[in-house]
Amino acid sequence: MLVFDRSERMRHGHVALVSKVIDRRTIEIDHANWSIGSYGRGKITRNVRVVDVSERNDWTSVRVWNDVDDCWGRPYKTMGFIYAN
């Protein structure tokens, strides 16, 4: 799981399931309740590309691909990962 920090747009933060590791700085996620736009709340979005854009390559800042606008979104702060045992 990738844990997104709280922000003005995400008052409660966000979690997403890491569905695939592409390389050291790129993953894919599955998540829900993210988009309000044409997809609507509560829908699950799968295989969404996420890139690490943090200065230290430590996944504290990421950009998420936006299929609707066909571009990378703004940087989001993250709190890290929750790993399976």
pLDDT of residue 69: 85
Q: What is the pLDDT of residue 63?
A: 97
* Helix/strand/coil for 33: coil
Q: Hey, how many other C-beta atoms are within 10 angstroms of the C-beta on 7?
A: 13
Domains contained in the chain, number: 1
Residue-number span of the structural domain to which 55 is assigned? 2-81
Rounded to whole angstroms, the Cα distance separating 64 from 42 reads 18
What's the pLDDT at 35? Answer: 58
Radius of gyration of the chain (CA): 12
What is the pLDDT at residue 38?
Answer: 56
pLDDT at 18: 96
Find the Cα–Cα–Cα–Cα dihedral 50, 23, 15, 61, rounded to 10°: -60
- Tens-of-pLDDT digits for all 85 residues of the chain? 999 999 988 888 999 999 999 999 999 999 987 656 555 567 888 999 999 999 999 999 999 998 878 999 999 999 999 987 6
Total count of residues recorded for the chain: 85
